[in-house]
């Protein structure tokens, strides 16, 4: 029986991934360079340390750049774009329905705690979660299963008692490595990547009511 939901944050609750990528793309374009999604893919759903955009730009240009200045500009533009974003379609409804059904709610994010908490506060969602685990809470972030295992432990649930909601290949891999049934809901950016290894695919959380999804999940195990 399903007793809990564990949600990813970036790209699942809030579309931060598109704005972050777009801000870097704009900087690359200023230099006459391209930042292909195939290069950026390693960053999605994982640690920012998995991809160095300034290093990639330097390799494309064949010279050094002012990393500090470019990073500051990128973060300013990123913040501007993210501030215009609200929770992705269906997120608030799923959270409300999970509470109504008595499910425990967890959040597993490879981002750092201040980032996640700040945006959850802005969206009015922080207090809805029974467990929040971020990069500082584990040794390895996604695609390692550590974040999901930590949330399961704090919620007091077995992997068979919860499902994960993800948007990226790295996140799916992490959830399944923890033994979780994983539902993928790609955002406009991750929709361009391969998420075939997920157990269920949804175009949006508005596509299927939570109770119907829980029924499908039980049948899929």
Q: Of 10, 97, 146, 199, which is the active-site residue? A: 10
**How many residues make up the chain in this entry?**
221
- The torsion angles phi and psi of 132, rounded to 5 degrees, stand at -130, 120
Helix extents (H) in 63-209: 67-83, 91-100, 113-123, 146-155, 169-177
Four-point Cα dihedral 201, 215, 145, 131, nearest 10: 120
Contact 186, 167 (CB under 8 A): yes
CB atoms within 10 A of CB 21: 19
Four-point Cα dihedral 130, 135, 139, 145, nearest 10: 60
Q: Could you give the CA distance from residue 124 to residue 122 in angstroms, rounded to a whole number?
A: 5
Question: Among this protein's residues, is 112 annotated catalytic?
Answer: no
Tokens of 63: 């010279």
Question: Among this protein's residues, is 130 annotated catalytic?
Answer: no
Q: What is the CA radius of gyration of the chain?
A: 18
Of 79, 86, 137, nearest to 108 (Cα)?
Answer: 137
Q: Which active-site residues does the annotation give?
A: 8, 10
């Amino acid at each position: 029986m399903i007793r809990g939901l564990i949600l990813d944050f970036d790209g699942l609750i809030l579309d931060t991934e598109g704005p972050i990528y777009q801000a870097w793309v704009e900087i690359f374009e200023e230099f006459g360079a391209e930042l292909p999604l195939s290069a950026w893919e390693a960053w999605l759903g994982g640690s920012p340390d998995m991809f160095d955009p300034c290093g990639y730009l330097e390799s494309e240009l064949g010279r050094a750049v002012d990393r500090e200045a470019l990073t500051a500009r990128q973060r300013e533009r990123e913040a501007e774009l993210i501030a215009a974003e609200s929770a992705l379609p269906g997120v608030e409804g799923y959270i409300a329905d999970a509470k109504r059904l008595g499910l425990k709610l967890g959040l597993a994010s490879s981002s750092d705690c201040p980032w996640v908490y700040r945006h959850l506060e802005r969206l009015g969602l922080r207090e809805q979660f029974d467990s929040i685990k971020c990069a500082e809470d584990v040794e390895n972030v996604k695609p390692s299963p550590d974040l999901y295992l930590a949330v399961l432990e704090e919620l007091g649930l077995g992997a068979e008692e919860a499902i994960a909601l993800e948007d990226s290949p790295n996140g799916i891999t992490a959830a399944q490595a923890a033994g979780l049934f994983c539902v993928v809901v790609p955002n406009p950016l991750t929709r361009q990547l391969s998420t075939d290894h997920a157990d269920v695919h949804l175009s949006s959380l508005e596509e299927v009511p939570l109770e119907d999804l829980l029924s499908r999940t039980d049948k899929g195990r």
